[in-house]
């Protein structure tokens, strides 16, 4: 449980950091090409995107560990469909994060490497708008759906087993619905790390209380 709790807290921190790092480029979604060309002309913006790639990659790993840890809590002597769904959707969500991180950071990485090696064959025209917009779509549609599915199943199993407080389960149901329904609103994605952090803190508190009771 300690590993699951730690992974949940790390995910909340890394995902929020990645969200902040990519906030400006995500905010240009559907803007005309000149807006993207101007954005990537800034070395500061490019450095922030590269940092965001690392943060999102780490978040993908941390979420996988957290979700699989939760799935193991619900695994009984026989194979559990709920545990299998949690693990599968978590891995798919992590894959979406990895793809989104690559798409959101490709132009910045290309331009940065070009500056370092004086390469002229870089992404610098209208095509720079395609990759970050694709990254936004990956995380806000398939990614959000997979994350929502993971939260719903964890919340359902936690409601039945009382593994988490009821209010966190209700929060999970609401957050899952908003993750899917709000799509391109952007800030709603922060509901995901908020729920994971709340669940992790609740498990940590329950673990400490159980340890005191056993003592």
Residue by residue, pLDDT tens for the chain (215 residues) are: 789 999 999 999 999 999 999 988 877 777 777 888 888 888 898 899 999 999 999 999 999 999 999 988 877 666 688 889 999 999 999 999 999 999 998 888 888 887 777 665 566 656 677 888 888 899 989 999 999 999 999 999 988 888 889 999 999 999 999 999 887 667 888 999 999 999 999 988 877 776 666 65
Q: What is the pLDDT of residue 31?
A: 74
Closest CA to 87 of 74, 77, 100: 74
Whole-number Å distance between alpha carbons of 156 and 162: 10
Q: How many residues does the chain have?
A: 215
DSSP string, 90-113: HHHHHHHHHHHHHHHHHHHHHHHH
The gap from C-alpha 28 to its chain's centroid, in whole angstroms, comes to: 20
Whole-number Å distance between alpha carbons of 192 and 208: 25
For CA atoms 32, 34, 37, 38, the dihedral sign is negative
């Amino acid at each position: 449980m300690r590993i699951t709790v730690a992974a949940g807290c790390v995910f909340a921190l890394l995902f929020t950091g990645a969200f902040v790092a990519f906030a400006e480029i995500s905010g240009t979604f559907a803007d005309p090409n000149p807006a993207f060309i101007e954005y990537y002309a800034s070395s500061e913006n490019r450095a922030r995107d590269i940092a965001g790639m690392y943060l999102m990659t780490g978040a993908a790993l941390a979420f996988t560990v957290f979700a699989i840890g939760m799935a193991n809590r619900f695994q009984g002597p026989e194979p559990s469909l709920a545990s299998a769904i949690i693990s599968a959707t978590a891995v798919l969500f992590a894959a979406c994060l990895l793809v989104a991180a690559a798409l959101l950071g490709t132009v910045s990485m290309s331009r940065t490497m070009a500056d370092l090696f004086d390469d002229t064959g870089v992404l610098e025209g209208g095509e720079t708008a395609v990759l970050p917009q694709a990254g936004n779509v990956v995380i806000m549609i398939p990614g959000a759906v997979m994350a929502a599915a993971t939260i719903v199943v964890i919340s359902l199993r936690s409601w039945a087993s009382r593994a988490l407080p009821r209010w966190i389960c209700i929060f999970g149901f609401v957050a899952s619905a908003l993750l899917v329904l709000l799509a391109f609103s952007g800030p709603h994605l922060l509901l995901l790390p908020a729920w994971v952090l709340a669940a992790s803190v609740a498990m940590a508190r329950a673990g400490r209380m159980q340890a005191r009771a056993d003592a």
